[in-house]
A and B are shown apart, each in its own frame.
Chain A
Amino acid sequence: MLKIDQVSKHYGEYTALDAVSLEVPKGSVFGLLGPNGAGKTSLIRILNQIILPDEGTVYLDGEQLQPKHISQIGYLPEERGLYKSMKVGEQALYLARLKGMTKKEATTQLKYWFEKFEISDWWHKKIQELSKGMAQKVQFIVTVLHKPKLLIFDEPFSGFDPVNAELIAKEILLLKDEGATIIFSTHRMESVEKMCDHIALIHQSKKILDGKISEIQKQYKTNIFDVGVVTNDESKLTTELKEVFEVKPSKLYSFHDAVKFQVKTSDKNTSEKLLQLLQKHGEVIHFSEQIPTMNSIFMQAVSNKTSLK
C-alpha cells in the first residue's frame, strides 16, 4: 500500500530523517512510534506532501506520491485546530471541498457523520462555542469524510475523555474493516497493543525497529512463564524447580490456594520440561508466557540504541 524508500530530510545542518525505509501493508493499522523529536512528524508531513523529502521516494499503491494522492489521504494532526470563528458546518464543507469532494457529496457525507455522532445541532455553531472534545469530534469527521484509502492519525486520542476515546477507537477499527490503511502515531503504548498489527520505531531520525507486532514481541520475548500449582509439598517443588530453572516469586493473582512462581526457561530447559515438572507435583492451574509489553519493547529498543551510540 505505502512504501517509504530511503527517505531523508534535513533542516540546514539538522537531520530530521536519515534514510528511513518502511512498508505499510494494505488494510493494516500501522503504529509509528518514537520519542519526541525522533522524526515522526517530519515523516508524516512528507506523507501528506506538506514538505518534500531531500532524498528518497514514497510510493502509494505502487505510484510515486503526487499531488493527486491528496484526496486519498486523511490526516489528523497532533496539534489540532479549526477556524475558531467559522461555523462548524461551513468549515467542514470547506475542508472537505479542499480535499476534492463536491459540495453535494460533502454535504451528504457530513450529514451522515453528524447524525452518527449525534452532533447535528452543532452545524450552525462556531468552533469557539464548542469544548475541546467537541471540536476534536468535528476534526475527526473532517479527517475521514472523504473516505481516504490512507488515514494518518497523530495522537488521535489526546484531548478525548475515555468514553469518546473508545468511540473514536471503534470508528478507526471500523474504517480498517472497510479497507482503509491506517497509520497511527502515538506515545500511548496500550493503544498500540490494542489497535496496531504492525509497528515501526523511529529514534534519532533513524528507523530502529519494524514489523508485525507479534513477531516483534517474539523477538523481545523473555522466556519467563507465570505458573501456579496446587501442591501438598511446596518446599520439594521449589527445590526441584530451582535446581533446573531460574525462579522468582510471582505476583500472580489466583482464586486457588496455589504456589506461584516466575520461571525462566531456556533452549535446554524448555517450557515443556517445566510443565512436566510442575505436573509431577500437583495440579497446574496457571501456565502462561509473559508477553513483552510494547512499552517495555519501546524502552528497551530506545535504550539499546542510545547505549550503542
Chain B
Amino acid sequence: MEKLKLIIYREFLIKVRNKSFIVLTFLSPILVIGMGFLVFYLTQVNESTVKHIAIVDNSTLEIGSLLQSNESVTYIDLTVVGLDKSKVLVKENNYDGLLYLPVIEDDLKEYSHKIMYFSADTPNFMLIKSLENKIANRLKFFHLEKIGIQAQTIYDATYNVAIHQENFYGEESSKLGAGLKIGLGTGAGYLVMMFIIIYGNSVMRSVIEEKTSRVIEVIVSSVKPFQLLLGKIIGNASAGLLQFFIWGLLIVFCSIAASMFLGVDLMAMNTPKLPVNQMAENLENYDDIVFVLKEILQLPLVTMVLLFVFYFLGGFFLYSSIYAAIGAAVDSETDTQQFMLPVIIPLMLAVYVGFAAVISDPHGPVATTFSIIPFTSPIVMLMRIPFGVAWYELLGSMLLLVVTFLGIVLLAAKIYKVGILMYGKKPSYKDLYKWLRY
C-alpha cells in the first residue's frame, strides 16, 4: 500500500508539474472563452456589412412596405425602372441582389413559385429564408382578404403559444432549460471523452517511457507490475480530477464575479419551486444571463457533479488500462497505431450517439442502451443525467461499469506484465492473446 502511494504520488507530480498540464488547466478556459468572443466578434463583423437589395414588384402585394431597410440591409425599389434595366443597374452598382415579383395571378400557389431573386453570388441562406417567409405571409393575408376576411381579424386570431413545462413535483422547466440540459450533458460527455483520450495517452506514453528507458526492470524488481499499473492510472486520474476541480473553482469564481457585477443574489435564487407568476415577474426584472444562471441552479448540480466524477473515473479506469496495455506491448509510440482504433471507435460512437440520440430523445431506446453499455456509458449517461434518469437504470449502468473495468484492468494487467519485459518484436493481436495465457 505504501509503495502504491509512492507510485501514485510520483505519477501525479510528474503530470501536474508538466508544462502542458499548467497550460491546459489555466490557458484552455481562457482560450475557449476567447474563441467564443472571437467567433461572436467575427460574426458581428460579417453581419455589419450592409447589403443592398433591389426590388422590382410588379404585383399588387406592396412587398416594399413589408421590407423595411435596417442596419444590415438596404432595400431599393426599382419597380418603375422595370426588370431588364434593373438587372443592368444592379450589376453596375454592385448591389447584392434583385428580388423580382411578377404580376399577380389568380392561382397564388403557382404564383408563389414564380418569384425570383437574381444575384452574382449564391445568396445568403438566412436572407432568402426571411424573404420567403415574409412573402408567404403576405400572400396568405392577400388570399384571406380576397375571400373577405379582414387583416385585423387575422391579427386578432393569431396566438403565440408557449407551452409551460413542469414535472410532477412542480419543478419548472422550459425550452431554455432543455437547451441548457443538452448543453451541460453533451458538454460533460464530450469533456469525459477528451479527458479519457488525453490522459489515457499520457498513461500510455508513461508506460512506453519506462519501457524504452529500461527503468521498468528496476521498478518491477521492487513492486508488482499490477501495483505500478494501478499507481499510474490513479496518479493520472487524480491529476485529471485536480484539473476539473480547478476549472470548477474558476467557474464558481466567475459566477460569483458575474452575480456581483449584475447585482443578483445567487443563493436566494437556488429555490427550485418558484411559483409561476413570480417566475414571470422575475423574468421581467432580470435579463437573459440571470435567467440562464437560474436555470442552471435549478438542475440537480450536486448529483451531476458526483456522477460526473464517478463516470469520469469509471471510464478512465476502463480505457486507461487498455492504453497502458498497448503501451506495454509496443517499443515506441509509432507502433501504437494498429491498436488505437478499437479504443477510439467506442469513444467516438458514444459521442455521436450521444449527440444524435440524447438530444432527440434522452430516454429513447438507443440513448438508454448506450448509457448502459460500459464502453459508452461514461459519455452517454452523462449526457442523459441532466434530463433525469431512473435510479435502476443508473444503478445498472454504474454496476456494469465497475464490473467491466475490474475485468478489463485484470486482463490489461496480464498483457502489461508480459509486455513491459518484451523487446524487439512488434506484437500482433495473436501475441497479445498468447500473453494473456502466460
Contact = CB atoms under 8 A, between A and B. Distances in A.
A50 B421 contact: yes
A3 to B, nearest CB: 20
A227 B221 CA distance: 52
B223 interface: yes
Nearest to B18: A85
A301 interface: no
Given A50-B421, A94-B10, A82 B213 contact: yes
Contacts of A12: 434, 438
Contacts of B219: 95, 98
A75 B218 contact: yes
A79 B214 contact: yes
Nearest to B211: A81
Interface string B218-235: 111111100000000000
B438 A11 contact: yes
Interface in A55-105: 67, 70, 73, 75, 77, 79-84, 86, 94-95, 97-99
Given A98-B3, A98-B6, A99-B222, A83 B438 contact: no
A129 to B, nearest CB: 14
Contacts of B209: 83-84
Interface in B338-391: none
A183 interface: no
B221 A83 contact: no
Nearest to B214: A81
Given A45-B421, A94-B6, A70 B222 contact: yes
B171 interface: no
A95 B6 CA distance: 10
Contacts of A49: 221
Contacts of A86: 14
Contacts of A77: 214, 217-218, 221
A29 to B, nearest CB: 20
Contacts of B222: 70, 95, 98-99
B434 A81 contact: no
Contacts of A80: 214
A51 B414 CA distance: 12
Interface in B1-23: 3, 6-7, 10, 14
Given A94-B6, A94-B10, A81 B218 contact: yes
Nearest to A146: B222
A104 to B, nearest CB: 15
B268 interface: no
A293 interface: no
A83 B213 contact: yes
The binding surface of chain B is classed by DSSP as helix
A48 B213 contact: no
Contacts, number: 57
A304 B221 CA distance: 35
Q: Which range contains the number of A residues in contact with the other chain?
A: 20 to 34
Contacts of A51: 421
A142 interface: yes
Contact of B213 (A73, A75, A81): A81
B302 interface: no
A95 B219 CA distance: 7
A77 B222 CA distance: 13
B421 A82 contact: no
B215 interface: yes
A94 B8 CA distance: 12
A94 B220 CA distance: 13
B17 to A, nearest CB: 10
A49 B222 CA distance: 9
Interface string A156-184: 00000000000000000000000000000
A147 B209 CA distance: 28
Given A11-B438, A12-B438, A84 B213 contact: yes
Contacts of B223: 98
B217 A70 contact: no
Contact of A81 (B217, B224, B421, B438): B217
A155 B191 CA distance: 49
A86 B219 CA distance: 14
Contact of B218 (A67, A84, A142): A142
Contacts of A75: 217-218, 221
Nearest to B217: A77
Contact of B221 (A73, A81, A84): A73
Nearest to B223: A98
Given A70-B222, A98-B3, A98-B223, A50 B217 contact: yes
A77 B218 CA distance: 7
Nearest to A154: B217
A73 B209 CA distance: 25
Nearest to B219: A98
Contacts of A73: 221
Contacts of A50: 217, 220-221, 421
A48 B214 CA distance: 16
Contact of A97 (B6, B214, B220): B6
A79 B213 CA distance: 9
Nearest to A78: B217
Contacts of B220: 48, 50
B312 to A, nearest CB: 27
Contacts of B7: 98
A49 B227 CA distance: 14
7 contacts: A11-B438, A12-B438, A48-B220, A49-B221, A81-B217, A98-B3, A98-B6
Given A48-B221, A81-B218, A97-B6, 19 more contacts: A12-B438, A45-B421, A50-B220, A70-B221, A70-B222, A81-B213, A81-B214, A82-B213, A82-B218, A83-B209, A83-B210, A83-B215, A84-B209, A84-B213, A94-B6, A94-B10, A98-B219, A98-B223, A99-B222
